[in-house]
Structure 1
Amino acid sequence: MKRRIYGLETEFGIIWTPEVAHRKTLTVQNVVMYLFREIVAGRMYPDVFLENGARFYQDIGCHPEYATPECDDVAELVAHDKAGERIITRLASTAEQRMRNDGFYGKISIFKNNLDTPGNTYGCHENYLMERHVDFRQLASQLIPFFVTRQVFAGAGKIKPSHRGYYAISQRAEHIREEISIGTTTARGIINTRDEPHADREKYRRLHVIVGDSNMSEFSTFLKVGTTGIILRMIEDNFIQQRFALRNPVKAIREISDDVTCKHPIELQNGKRLSAVELQWQYLECAKRYLEQAESDATTTQIMARWEYVLTCLESDPMQLDRELDWVIKWKWLQTYLTKRGFEWDAPQVKHLDLKYHNVRQEESLYYTLENRAEVERIVENEQIRHAEHFPPERTRAKFRGKFIKKVNEGKILCGVNWSYIQLYEP
């Protein structure tokens, strides 16, 4: 299988809850600074590369962001994505102790979701290194229908606050405004035109994807990244000949999100009407034909098998996927809670449970409660995640970056590090 470099960037939501007995409070900005204090060590701003090759920094607003190191294997990427959750959890525990030492008593909660209480959105951005020769208009036309419909297995699920009793598949869908755009905070596009390859610009581009949700489910992360990689390979080899173009992609991405039956038909430019699942089936069948004559590997075989399994279940009854897909897992538990307690969808207790699903601190998380009961599907082992917390991938330049950072940390040497370079400021 043709080698590809992948990366994920995750912005986390932060809530600090002071203890009732203590009235001293802190702004979220101050809480974030406490969070970074252990690792920034005298730097002027919270932005640092870690010994596992990843980057941890404060993004726009008060959102700590974890960017995985460059990975050339999708399962390895899943492990490094999960390692980011554990790293920020460990930093939160240390920050709470520092805060108590300074007289601030409370709890830091960290959420891997895409919406805060007022409805503002923050993202999970995917990065794919791809060949430069592909015409960008062709790339966009073939990717847009895929990204619009991919949410049926990649959505994180949410309660829509503006509609009583309403549950949607995707958290990001209603925040997409354009088909193609350079913006990541306003006028967000299905296709983002940002292109910083951190590689030979003549040969490569970096596809920066902002349309997707943050996933707690390892299965959803594996499938969304893995299927996208297969689609990109077909595009690079000019294999996709079908015309999947949608009449109104921005409208379609919202309509699909609003239909948990996954049967709502969307209109194509050629006048046909297909559901998101039916369109995904066409991409899958195209991939099957492609792989009959192209080189494959074990990971690709796993991706294809899971893709077909998920589409088969979505076609008959999406609720069969209550171990695999975030939006289904969460929907099931919210429905059970509503029925048992007699609440309406807009009850504060239900919204709290929704948020609790995305808490990355395992002792507080609904998702990790289910994982500890073996009620969700796994892609990687805990030992792989523990390894990814401390060590970079072996087959990308992140290996050299991580080892360099480990050495300069041990020697307390002042240096500069970026995705593309490292620099010593001291002999």
Structure 2
Amino acid sequence: MTVRRVMGIETEYGISVPGNPTANPMVLSGRVVTAYATDQGMRAARAGWDYEDEAPLRDARGFEISRVHADPSQLTDEEDPTLANVVLTNGARLYVDHAHPEYSSPEVTTPRAAVAYDRAGEVVMARAVQLLSAPGAPGVNLYKNNTDGKGASYGTHENYLMSRATPFADIVKHLIPFFVVRQVMCGSGRVGIGVESGKPGFQLAQRSDFFEVEVGLETTLKRPIINTRDEPHATTEKYRRLHVILGDANHCDVANLLKMGTTSLVLALIEAGAITEDLTVDKPVATLQAISHDPTLQTKVSLAGGRQMTAVQLLWRYHELVADWLARTYGADVDEDTAEVMQHWEQVLTTLERDPMDAARQVDWVAKLATLEGYRARDGLDWGNPKLRQIDIQWSDVRPDKGLFNRLAAAGRFDELVSSAAVQEAVTAPPPDTRAYFRGMCLTKFPREVAAASWDSVIFDIPGQSSLQRVPTLEPERGTRAHVGRLLEQSATAQDLLRSLEALPAADGST
């Protein structure tokens, strides 16, 4: 295992109506989803979500919470009351989650593809804003961020497929220290300190102040550094889906690539049992927040055994462990995706160690801080000035002509790893190397016959059939273009496709 594994990003977008702060966010979010789905025609609007295999209350520590005692926000297997929950032709899910429109990318196998499909979500949301800004429409603004600056936080979640054979205790032990310090590369920056931004200042990450415990099942209260939801959306006996809720929504390609790529590599170390030293952090929640509050990156991290180092130094140690393991395991034959992540990891750490402000082309929080410091110098603003919070929000506006990041990106201020053409292709076309290909192509080719879908199923409603036909897709790396592309090409109807699938040998009978 290298950097390549099945992975994906879920992003909840901030939402507002100009001039109407009391507008119902759930209703508005439903309009966002419906507007985009309708704009795409029946291909997107017909297919809903299949909840049959959802299990949001199952805990990786070996138990399941009673629905009676669960917080309502945890019941993600209940039908959205706005009925705005659709599957797109690129294999993504677009729906309403906790009163926010959410774009959940299709499954991909590389960090670069994760960046492409995450940015495709920005295009989807920008199109929805454009549609809702037409004459007579309510007018909605969307923001790719993680807090409104007034005490509310919403998530950007990562998902990584792992072997279930890896003890969960090993994941917790070795991943918590990495997550505590990862924000210096991947934080998106935020004006204000504290949950409600009550203390003036600037910090590295938007989410860090909202975390309270080290390990837990919740995602919207008592947020844990390690989330224990055990919902693999795949063959349960073989796989675990690590659900990461700690990260920020990234705009910079390099930071986003590093968020996904370095995490995947650290997971590979854990799976291989290759972390041979104790990197346990003392008081990880407090340390997480202290690091976020220090843009100078000089805060010391206290480790087991009394060692102390900065966040950058601890990240260098993880980098060294990964590099040594790759050299022992693959020699000079490491794949290009892994080599790309290692190159950017080394480059960004070197830059942050020399002078953090030199990383403005690669790291979100640095780019945002540099922009804010420009406004502060020009207008004589202190960190308590509300204008800076407005700039912070405007930074993440999805509109190409209004979002500060988008305007700076158009001027060439950031290192772009994925071209605009590749992003546009990802808006409608599914990735070819996961089951998302089967899901997305079924939506493209048989839009009227696909009644619903989920990560691990596609449900067909065939004319003349008395019952729905459910095709399981429990193996994330099956249902690819190589596996079913020819079947899809040769099938004139959905019924033809189902017959072809049924005729496959027993070992290949499921996508």
TM range (shorter): over 0.9
The match for 1:226 among 261, 271, 275 is 261
The match for 1:338 among 373, 376, 381 is 376
Whole-angstrom distance in 2 between the partners of 1:37 and 1:219 = 32
The match for 1:152 among 158, 176, 184 is 184
Say if 1:375 and 1:24 are closer, same or farther in 2 by CA, change over 3 A: closer
Q: Does 1:418 align with 2:459?
A: no
* TM-score, normalising length: structure 1: 0.93
The 5 A counterparts of 1:61-140 are: 62-97=99-134, 100-101=135-136, 104=138, 107-140=139-172
Whole-angstrom distance in 1 between the partners of 2:430 and 2:179 = 29
Q: Is the 8 A contact 1:408 1:415 kept in 2?
A: no
Structure 2 unaligned spans of 5+: 39-44, 49-81, 464-511
Q: Is the 8 A contact 2:189 2:204 kept in 1?
A: yes
Tell me the secondary structure at the aligned position of residue 408 of structure 2: helix
Say if 1:153 and 1:399 are closer, same or farther in 2 by CA, change over 3 A: same
Whole-angstrom distance in 2 between the partners of 1:326 and 1:288 = 25
Q: Is the 8 A contact 1:277 1:315 kept in 2?
A: yes
Q: Residue 349 of structure 2 corresponds to which residue in structure 1? A: 311
Whole-angstrom distance in 1 between the partners of 2:357 and 2:434 = 39
Whole-angstrom distance in 1 between the partners of 2:21 and 2:166 = 57
* TM-score, normalising length: structure 2: 0.78
The 5 A counterparts of 1:147-296 are: 147-160=179-192, 162=197, 164-295=199-330, 296=334
Q: Residue 320 of structure 1 corresponds to which residue in structure 2? A: 358
Structure 1 position 359, deviation (Å): 1.0
> In the alignment, residue 8 of structure 1 is paired with which amino acid?
I
Deviations for 1:117-172, whole angstroms, at most 9, x for unmatched residues? 42211010000001111111111100000010000001011111545541111111
Q: Residue 5 of structure 1 corresponds to which residue in structure 2? A: 6
Whole-angstrom distance in 2 between the partners of 1:166 and 1:114 = 17
Tell me the secondary structure at the aligned position of residue 177 of structure 1: strand
Whole-angstrom distance in 2 between the partners of 1:368 and 1:79 = 16
Q: Residue 37 of structure 1 corresponds to which residue in structure 2? A: 34
What RMSD, in angstroms, separates the aligned Cα atoms of the two structures?
Answer: 1.8
Q: Is the 8 A contact 2:453 2:459 kept in 1?
A: yes
Deviations for 1:271-314, whole angstroms, at most 9, x for unmatched residues? 11111111111101111111112232111111111111111111
Whole-angstrom distance in 2 between the partners of 1:10 and 1:421 = 22
Over the matched positions of the two proteins, sequence identity in percent amounts to 37
> In the alignment, residue 397 of structure 2 is paired with which amino acid?
N
The match for 1:361 among 390, 399, 405 is 399
Whole-angstrom distance in 1 between the partners of 2:114 and 2:293 = 30
Structure 1 unaligned spans of 5+: none
Q: Is the 8 A contact 2:149 2:389 kept in 1?
A: no
> In the alignment, residue 13 of structure 2 is paired with which amino acid?
F
Provide the aligned length of Structure 1 versus Structure 2.
415
The 5 A counterparts of 1:385-404 are: 385-404=423-442
Tell me the secondary structure at the aligned position of residue 331 of structure 1: helix
Whole-angstrom distance in 1 between the partners of 2:200 and 2:235 = 50
